[in-house]
Amino acid sequence: MLQGKKVVLGVSGGIAAYKACALTSKLVQSGAEVKVIMTEGATEFVTPLTFQALSRNPVYTNAFDEKNPEKIAHIDLADWADLVILAPATAHLLGRIANGLADDMLTTTLLATTAPVYIAPAMNVHMYDHPAVKENLLTLDHYGYKFIEPGDGYLACGYVGKGRLEEPENIIRVIEESESQVQPLKGKKVLITAGPTKESVDAVRYFTNHSSGKMGYALAEEAKKLGADVTLVSGPVHLKAIAGINTIKVSTAQEMYQAVLENFDTQDIVIKSAAVADYKPKYQMDQKMKKKEGPLTLELERTQDILKTIGLKKTHQYVVGFAAETDNILHYGREKLSKKNLDAIVVNDIGNKEIGFQSDQNEVYVLTQKGEEFSISTRSKQEISKKLFDIFINDMMGESE
C-alpha cells in the first residue's frame, strides 16, 4: 500500500526519536519516498544527517531555510505529501497542533497540508493521562487526524505503563490497513443540512427549535470518512467546525433555502437533516417590541419548503429527508416520503426524551422509495450515521444496477 507513496515524517523532541530512524528505513523499504521534518528538540536526540542517510532526501529543520527561491518550502512539502506521520508526537507537539500554532517547519507544514495525518504519541504515562493532553487528542480526533496508540511497557523515564511509541512495524501496518479501506463515496459530492433555523420577531426575540445539529454533523463527518466531498449547510449550533468540510453558516430558513439551491445541481447526495422553521413572522420589527397589557397576536407565514423543492427539482441526485414525529411516526414518514418525492426518509420519535434533539443518542426508522423499511435501535449518532450510509449506498447501488 505504501509503494510509490510520498510520506512526510515529522519527528519531535522525545527519546523515542531513535525509533523514527527505524521507521524511516522501513518506510523506504516499503517503497515510499520519505522526507523528514525535525523539530529543534528532535535534533537534540538524533542528527539530521542520520535521517538524510536513511531517507536519501534532505531533512527539514528550519522554516526560514528556503533552499529554493521559487518555492515556499513548507507549502511545497505540504502539497507534495500523500500522507503525514508524526512519530514520535510529544505532548508539546500535540498541544501546538491542537491549537493551530505554526511556529516551526513541522507545524506550518501540518497547517498547510490536506493529506491524511497519522499521529503516534510517545510520552510518560502520567503525561499521556493528563486532562490537557486528553483534550488535545479529542480536538485532533475531531479535526480528522488518525492515531496510532502508544504501547504499554518500560518507559525511558523508568515508569512502566502506556506511553511507549508503537513499534515501526506496527505503525506501518496500521497505516496500510487504514489506507486500504474502501471509500465508496470517493469522487461523490454530498450536501447535508444541520441544526435549527432562527426567525426574528423583533430586535430581541426569535422563533427557533430544539435541534442541536449533532445528527447532521455526525452525518457530515461520516460522509467525509467515506471519501465524499462534503458541503455542510449549518444553522446556528454550538458545535465545532469539521476540518476538511465546506461549512456554510446560515441563520434563517430563507438563507438555508438559498444555500441549498445554490449548491444543489452539482451534488450526488443531499441529506436534509436540519430542523427548518415551517413558519416565520410575516412582519419583523427592527426595534424591540414593548410589552403591553393583554394577549399578543402575531401573524405568521409559511417558509419555503426546501425538501419539497429539491425533491421535485432532482435529476440524478439521491435525496434524503428527516422527519421528527411524536405519534404515528411511520405513517407520517411514508406520507412525507411520497409527497416530497424523496429517495429515502429517516424518521425519529422526538416524543422519547432519551433520544433525539440535544441527545448524543438516537434511534430511527428508515423508509425508502422502493418500499424497504429499516429500524436502527438506540445508539450514538455517530454509529447511526454509519448505518444510515450503509443503507443509502446499498439503495443507490440497487438503482444503478
Binding-site residue set for CTP: 278, 288, 322, 336, 340
Q: Give me 283's grid cell.
A: 412582519
The one-letter code for the residue type at 57 is N
How far is the C-alpha of 43 from the C-alpha of 11, rounded, in Å? 9
C-alpha distance across the termini of the chain, in Å = 30
Catalytic residue among 157, 239, 248, 300: 157
**Would you call 21 a catalytic residue per the annotation?**
no
Q: At what angle do helices 91-98 and 105-112 cross, to 10 degrees?
A: 40
Please report, as a single letter, which amino acid is at residue 44.
E
Peptide bond into 88 cis (omega under 30): yes
Residue set of the binding site:
278, 288, 322, 336, 340
Contact (CB, 8 A) for 347 and 329: yes
- Return the bridge partners of 119, or none: 86, 147
CB distance 294 to 267 below 8 Å: no
Point out the residues that are catalytic: 157
